Amino acid sequence: MIGYLATGILVLALLRFGQTIFVPLAFALFVIALVAPLQIKLQRWMPQLLSLLMTLSATIFIIIAVGSSVTWGLSRLGQWLFVNARKFQEVYVRWTDWLEEHGFAIAGPLADRFDVTWLVGFTHGLAGRLNSFAGFALLVFVFVMLGLLETEDFGKRLQSPAVQPLGMKMLHANREISKKLRRFMLVRTFASILTGLIVWAFAYFAGLELAAAWGAIAFTLNYIPFLGPFVATVLPTLFAIGQFDSWQMALAVFVGLNLIQFLIGSYLEPLLIGTSLAISPFAVIFSVFFWSFMWGVPGAFIGVPILIAFIVYCESSPGAAWIAVLLSAKSFSSSRGASI
């Protein structure tokens, strides 16, 4: 047992310190699992290289569209902060003075350190970091291209007698992971688009400036469970304070956005996903925080897909099926083993 624990710690340390390579690789495997079936279908009608080109083009277009939405939204917010920095600072000072008058001594130290120019720089810096992912995206692209070229051959190698019975188990697990990830991303994309549209409409009718930017940010951040919706709710609330200078309006924005996130994230998404991806909420939150600690924002994005793959591999192994049971949000049949 101690040996397994030591091995696990060493593997995690390797993933942490080798993230320059492992993060693009993990992203590439995630993308391959999503788009490989599309390429296989296209190969039935056209040459392999042409089908690869079409698959990669569609993948790149989608990734750029999603990344550009949050970059554009944050850029608009940075511009708004720059123009309205003085007003935002005055509102913040009044709020901190009010808190101090009512006995909240912590407001003093916060007021000394708060500077709107820092917030402007942070917003622009975040947008700049998103734009600087070009090197990361290029490495992911290379891994995806090489991986798609070998997908079919790798499947055939897994079926060869030399790697049995482990080969067939891996093949079935990989197919199951691919199916579950496609379902997860399809539902998540639909929910993200719906969230972005409703947040935009809510911000527009509430009179909140930059309604389109808030919708774009909510759309993109919804791909990150828990952390994304939290940020997409807190940021508009803070800006509502600066714009309206009214805690009642800020509270209304906060409640409205939380209601939107709750109805879509806690009711609609589970209804669309069904029991096939019923994962423990604690496991989901832990996975998002753990992989964000390991790999930053990219880790938060693929934390749940990694958890899905981990559960599928656990359920395919008799010795590790109990782990899949513990991580699931539904009961398991002893005759079938674990099922997400």
pLDDT of residue 76: 83
| CB contact at 8 A, 80 and 209 | yes
Question: pLDDT of 116-130, one tens digit each?
Answer: 555 555 555 555 555
String of DSSP letters for 54-122: HHHHHHHHHHHHHHHHHHHHHHHHHHHHHHTHHHHHHHHHHHHHHHHHTT-TTHHHHHHH--HHHHHHH
pLDDT confidence of residue 127: 55
Both tokens of residue 73? Answer: 């939204």
pTM of the predicted structure, to 2 decimals: 0.78
The CA distances from residue 98 to 93, 273, 330, in Å, are: 9, 46, 48
Tell me, what's the pLDDT at 152?
80
Q: What is the pLDDT of residue 123?
A: 58
Residue 98: per-residue pLDDT: 65
Residue 338: what pLDDT?
37
> What is the full DSSP assignment across 189-242?
HHHHHHHHHHHHHHHHHHT-S-HHHHHHHHHHHTTSTTHHHHHHHHHHHHHHHH
CB count in 10 Å sphere of residue 159: 11
Query: What was the pLDDT predicted at 335?
Result: 36
d(CA 248, CA 83): 24
Half-sphere exposure of 175 (CA within 13 A, CB side): 9
**Per-domain boundaries in the chain:** 18-158, 166-276, 278-340
Of the candidates 248, 216, 93, which has an alpha carbon nearest to the alpha carbon of residue 235?
216
4-53 residue pLDDT tens: 677 878 888 888 888 888 888 999 999 999 998 888 888 888 888 888 88
pLDDT at 92: 67
Collect all residues with Cβ–Cβ distance below 8 Å to 22 and sequence separation of at least 6: 14, 15, 295
Please identify every stretch of the chain with a pLDDT value under 70, giving residue numbers as ranges. Answer: 1, 3-4, 85, 87-89, 91-92, 95-135, 273-276, 330-340
Residue 203: predicted pLDDT: 92
pLDDT at position 105 is 55
Q: Provide the mean pLDDT of the chain.
A: 80
